[in-house]
Amino acid sequence: MKTLKKYGKVWWIMSRNALSGAIYSKLSFLIFLLGKVVRFNFFVLFLFYLVKGTGSLAGYDINQTIFIFLTFNVIDIVGQFLFREVYRFKPLILGGDFDLILVRPTSSLFRGLMGGADFIDLFTIPILFIVLYFVGMNFHPQIGDVMLYILLLVNGLMITAAFHIFILGLYVRFLELDYVLWLYRDLLNLGKLPVGVYKQPLRDILVYLIPVATMITVPARAMMGFVSFWGVIVSILIGIVGILVSMRFWKYSLKYYTSASS
């Protein structure tokens, strides 16, 4: 509990500093926000007109398709909000400044992963949850469905965390490979649509290998009351294994840190 409190305080201080940096140029902040809102709204509009014109998409109606897209956004935006520091991590390794993090009495992984939230997303997250609530209510879910949805959403964020930890490990181990982060973003984007849209073997890859479906489609299906008991168990197992493997990879990578350029 004491450790949790300590890290909560550290996160708050680092995030406050990141916020000061972000709002230093208010115009930039507003333009970025506007860009994100434009992209989001146009895609919702597109899905709306598409499914209106076709009747359904891979068996999902308008509400269900939009709900899956909103769930994708929750995973993507909350992931970016929490793990934004990963995007700023590479220079620390290249310049050797990571030494200064290693000597601090806090976890170096925590600093690399959650060393400053992205506050642009703090403005979009509440609106996203409000829209999610209203679209979700159309399914008339039972309390159990909502609880399961939240549980699987947290599991999806755990898998997101695992991916980000793995990418941090790659930075430390190989110095380069920052494009893996962008590839991860592109793969995650495939989750904008129901996984049923994709054909085999891509569908299995998205369920088991790069579990985009586990992160997005499975929670959304839980809210619609479509998910099976074993589906939930397998999803949670993927989340736990993902975190454990990524943590192990991080520890392995740290052994190869050479403090280059410092």
Contact residues: another protein, CB under 8 A: 25, 27-28, 31-32, 34-36, 38-39, 42-43, 45-46, 49-50, 53-54, 57-58, 176, 179, 182-183, 186-187, 189-190, 192-193, 196-199, 202
The CB-of-31 to another protein minimum distance in angstroms stands at 4
Closer residue to another protein (CB): 151 or 205: 205
The CB-of-261 to another protein minimum distance in angstroms stands at 20
Q: Which of 219, 165, 210, 218 is nearest to 188 (CA)?
A: 210
Closer residue to another protein (CB): 19 or 146: 19
The CB-of-221 to another protein minimum distance in angstroms stands at 17
How far apart CA 88 and CA 103 sit, in angstroms, is: 19
Give the three-class secondary structure for 60: strand
Closer residue to another protein (CB): 10 or 66: 66
How far apart CA 67 and CA 75 sit, in angstroms, is: 12
Cis peptide before 201 (omega within 30 of 0): yes
How far apart CA 123 and CA 117 sit, in angstroms, is: 12
Closer residue to another protein (CB): 105 or 201: 201
How far apart CA 75 and CA 17 sit, in angstroms, is: 24
Closer residue to another protein (CB): 53 or 105: 53
The CB-of-79 to another protein minimum distance in angstroms stands at 18
Give the three-class secondary structure for 91: helix
